Amino acid sequence: MFRITDNGIAEISGYIPDGFLTGYGLYETMRILYEKDRNIIRAENLAEHYRRLSAGKETLGLKGDFSLRRLENALSALIGTRNIRSGSVSVYIVADHYPNAEFLIAHDSRTIPDEDYRRGYRVRIARTRIPATGLTSRYLTLSRVDSGLMLNTARREGADELIFLNTDNYVAQCCEANIFWQMKRIIYTPSISAGIVAGVARQKTIDRYQARGYIIKEGLFELNDLYLADRIFLVSAVLNEMPAQIVR
């Protein structure tokens, strides 16, 4: 992990911002794309992820120099230093002696195997509920240990993801993805009022299907709506679009 600086990046050594200890911070993850024909390496939807980070920074009341140009310079430096061609990058805004913030960036070389897309994700219904409302529910915050713990348990038991209902018993989201389902030419997805993280990939998916002539319905949906669907798919910056089926 590297600190984002005025000149690019600097390796972190011997110090951890206190926000990592308290969970006071947020992050965005972007897929790395290598366009071989143009010899370009870039983070997918960088500007949109930057806007979400900036909005989250304001919501958390954090301060510090976090411009898009500064982030672009850090990303270029990271790609050049690590010779990155694939995987994903995560950008963190973390409290450090609040309201001051540290801005960090890290690379994850892991990619989703093609076999996962051919097979599709096996998803289970989570036993717990997430809040229907919350001050930071629409952002990816550092304090997500509950969902991480449940996801790790589900994966040990043979599932790939969990579907959460909210405290009003409406379908909300997965641990690491937004959820969509289709019935004929209609695409459904929970609305922001369900307490979901309004991911960049989610909006891109809505725009893409609308451009292809599908009807998009965002709203509050019950679990039975999922069981009636023609197909289910999960969406995130890393997954892109993953077919899914509910398992018990």
Q: 10 and 126: one domain?
A: no
Of 140 and 134, the structure prediction assigns the larger pLDDT to 140
Query: 136 vs 47, which has greater pLDDT?
Result: 47
pLDDT tens, position by position, 115-129? 999 999 999 999 999
Please tell me whether residues 20 and 78 are part of one structural domain: yes
Residue 96 shares a structural domain with residue 16: yes
Domain coverage including residue 186: 114-246
User: Residues 98, 29: one domain?
Assistant: yes
Give residue 114's pLDDT.
Answer: 97
Examine the domain organization and report whether 13 and 70 are in the same domain. Answer: yes
Average pLDDT over residues 223-233: 96
Count of the separate structural domains present in the chain: 2
Mark whether 53 and 125 lie in a shared domain.
Answer: no
Phi–psi pair at 10, nearest 5 degrees:
-140, 135
Reply yes or no on whether the pLDDT at 138 is more than 90: no
Helix axes 46-59, 200-211, angle to 10 degrees: 130
Question: Do both 103 and 118 map to the same domain?
Answer: no
16 and 137 inside one domain: no
98/125 same-domain check:
no
The residue from 85, 108, 131 where one domain ends is 108
Q: Look up the pTM and report it.
A: 0.93
pLDDT given at position 94 = 97
Summarised one tens digit per residue, pLDDT across range 168-219 is 999 999 999 999 999 999 999 999 999 999 899 999 999 999 999 999 999 9
Let me know whether 185 and 240 are in one domain: yes
Please, are residues 163 and 125 in contact by the beta-carbon 8 Å criterion?
yes
In a shared domain, residues 129 and 80: no
pLDDT score at 137? 84
Q: 160 near 122, Cβ under 8 Å?
A: yes
pLDDT tops 90 at residue 66: yes
What's the mean pLDDT when you consider all of the chain? 95
Return the CATH number at 238: 3.20.10.10
> Would the pLDDT of 135 be above 80?
no
CATH code (residue 93):
3.30.470.10
Give the domain-ending residue among 80, 108, 136.
108
- Please identify, among 65, 83, 108, the residue that sits at the C-terminal boundary of a domain: 108
Q: Higher pLDDT residue, 13 or 60? A: 60
Mean pLDDT for the stretch of residues 136-158: 90
Amino acid at 191: S
